[in-house]
Amino acid sequence: MIILLLLFSRSTGLALHGQAPRYISELVIPFTPARHLRSQNANLLIETRFKSNCYGDRAFSRFAPRLWNSMPHGLGKCSSLSCFKKHLKTYLFQSAFKVPTI
């Protein structure tokens, strides 16, 4: 399970930093509210909806934004890819082994 989370998070991070293939980047849409909200600077993604539950929840365009939005907000604010990878590994390690944060 952790490996899948790592792959989805890394693919999403690459797409947001413009380093993923175009077909992946097109599936990840940043959330931009129409009004000024506190969540405006949280780097959230739009979660697409599907009418059918058959494959919808397992699709990259559905699962990646849901996973990205559930991670800590500081993780998405990294300006470089190396910073993002470092914080992603730390987050996944802490969540897998239940390490208390300092």
In the chain, domain spans: 2-97
- 């300006």: which residue's tokens? 79
In the prediction, which pLDDT does 44 show? 77
Q: What is the pLDDT along the chain (102 residues), one digit of tens a residue?
A: 555 555 666 777 777 777 788 888 787 877 777 777 666 666 777 777 766 666 666 777 777 788 777 878 777 677 777 887 788 888 878 877 876 666
**CA 87, CA 69: separation in Å to the nearest integer?**
15
**CA 95, CA 101: separation in Å to the nearest integer?**
10
